[in-house]
């Protein structure tokens, strides 16, 4: 599942400004609950699963992208939210290239759908590896424009 199918405009948080990666994860889980994408009683189990995954190994990738994620039980479908850190200097996410993170994608995937998990991570990484997509995300204050950048990146 690529970003164009996964994210509605309301799933994108522009001007995302967490203090650290832990706050980023908390904020994006709260965003999913606030949008009705996650049930309120699922928030804590999801948050703990994502935090446990992050403690085991950083999900900070390359090119300013981090994809904190977890597979959880009792989730009917994959859900995600994206925070775009537009402030100068980005966010320290302990990325493998040592560069600051500018795009944080939270993915929560049903545990029973392991293949979807792997494919979705790969699809999102492929789209966000495109410099043109990242530049458009960082340069807009409009969530519809940000979503359009993701859609354009899939072609």
* CATH (domain of 41): 3.40.930.10
Measured in Å, how far apart are the chain's first and last C-alpha atoms?
14
The domain of 96 spans 3-153
Q: Does residue 2 have a pLDDT over 80? A: no
Dihedral sign for Cα atoms in the order 128, 95, 47, 122:
positive
pLDDT in tens, 45-67: 999 999 999 999 999 999 999 99
| Whole-number pLDDT of residue 74 | 85
Instruction: Tell me the two tokens of residue 120.
Output: 């979705």
Domains held by the chain: number: 1
Residues labelled as active-site residues: 69
Q: Which CB contacts under 8 angstroms, 24+ apart, belong to 38-41? A: 38/79, 38/108
The angle that helices 143-153 and 114-128 make with each other, rounded to 10 degrees, is 100
Tokens 């703990």, residue? 48
């Amino acid at each position: 599942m690529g970003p164009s199918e996964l994210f509605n405009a309301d799933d994108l948080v522009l001007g995302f400004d967490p203090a650290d990666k832990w706050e980023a994860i908390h904020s994006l889980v709260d965003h999913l609950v606030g949008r009705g994408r996650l049930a309120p009683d699922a928030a804590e189990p999801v948050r703990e699963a994502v935090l446990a995954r992050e403690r085991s190994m950083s999900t900070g990738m390359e090119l300013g992208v981090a994809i904190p994620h977890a597979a959880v039980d009792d989730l009917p479908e994959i859900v995600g939210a994206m925070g775009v850190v537009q402030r100068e200097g980005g966010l320290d996410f302990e990325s493998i290239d040592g560069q600051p993170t500018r795009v944080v994608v939270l993915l929560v995937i049903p545990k029973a759908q392991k293949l979807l998990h792997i494919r979705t991570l790969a699809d999102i990484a492929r789209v966000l590896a495109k410099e043109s997509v990242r530049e458009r995300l960082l340069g807009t204050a409009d969530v519809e424009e940000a979503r359009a950048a993701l859609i354009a990146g899939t072609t």
